Amino acid sequence: MKNYKLGIFALLTLVFSLESCIEHEVIPAPVPMVDLTCHFIGTVNGSVLELTENVSGYAGSATKNLNILPAPAISTAAYNFQMTSASTQTSVKVVLGSVLWDASVSTAPDIATFNAFHTANTSPSYSTSGSSGFEVTYKDAAGLNWTSKQSSPNPQSVTFTGILQESDTLGDYSKFTCNFNCYVYRQDAVTLVWDSLLIQDGVFKGWFER
């Protein structure tokens, strides 16, 4: 009986030893990600245009234009957001600039400067290439670009609302809803004649990324 008990004890010791050697998988907690969604609707040249995320391949993307100058010159940054699809050429893009910052201090505007810029620019002026304000570009089904003009003779307006700054492990964002009315223009490459289209009641939901 004594040998039997010793055998059971040895077996249990072996089992516990084996269990202690097994490495248990550690599943990391989910990392919160910013919910980035986009949508556009407006009347372009008399017809309603709606671009919906994940419909007909449409998705949103944010980029930035950095004009970095050596000190003591001040560098500038403009922010872009667009909705495009691989299956159709029609797209809408907006640009807002410019943030001023010292490139000798950092390679891009810091988050405080980025946030302050977007919070302050809720009713920007129209500007060529968005160099000091707002610009919108509409690409039609034929792939032709129509762009707003800083010096447009026609009335134009733009307002950013619902501005919300959020960050995750991938970046820092300024989420917005942009409401605008304007004419967009295109110059014929052969005749050099300018033509225009009217965008009315444009509502663009998206984000800029620092």
Model confidence pLDDT, tens digit, residues 78-121: 999 999 999 999 999 999 999 999 999 999 999 999 999 999 99
Mean pLDDT of 18-37: 71
Q: pLDDT digits over 125-171, tens only?
A: 999 999 999 999 999 999 999 999 999 999 999 999 999 999 999 99
Token pair of 204 as six digits: 């663009």
| Torsion-angle region of 54 (φ positive above 0: left; ψ -120 to 50: alpha; else: beta) | left
Whether 8 has a pLDDT exceeding 90, the answer reads: no
Neighbours of 97 (CB within 10 A): 24
Confidence of residue 27 (pLDDT cuts 50, 70, 90): confident
| Mean pLDDT in residue range 187-209 | 97
Model pLDDT, residue 71: 86
Q: What is the pLDDT of residues 110-129, one digit of tens each?
A: 999 999 999 999 999 999 99
Query: By C-alpha distance, which of 115, 69, 118, 113 is closest to 96?
Result: 118
Contact (CB, 8 A) for 13 and 171: no
Of 139, 136, 114, 113, which is closest to residue 124 (Cα–Cα)?
136
Residue 11 has pLDDT above 90, yes or no: no
Query: Residue 32: is it exposed, middle or buried by C-beta count within 10 angstroms (0-12/13-18/19+)?
Result: exposed
CA distances from 177 to 5, 37, 102, 103 (A): 76, 11, 29, 30
Which residue stretches of the chain are H helix?
2-21, 111-120
Task: Please state whether the peptide bond connecting residue 72 to the residue before it is cis, i.e. omega within 30 degrees of 0.
Answer: yes
Helix (H, G, I), strand (E, B) or coil at 5: helix
Spatial separation of the C-alpha atoms in residues 1 and 110, rounded to whole Å: 77
Predicted local distance difference test score (pLDDT) of residue 23: 58
**What digits encode the pLDDT tens for the residues 43-71?**
999 999 999 999 999 999 999 999 999 98
Share of the chain above pLDDT 90, in %: 84
pLDDT at 88: 97
Q: How far apart are CA 36 and CA 207, in angstroms?
A: 7
Confidence of residue 14 (pLDDT cuts 50, 70, 90): very low
Q: 103 pairs with which residues across the strands?
A: none
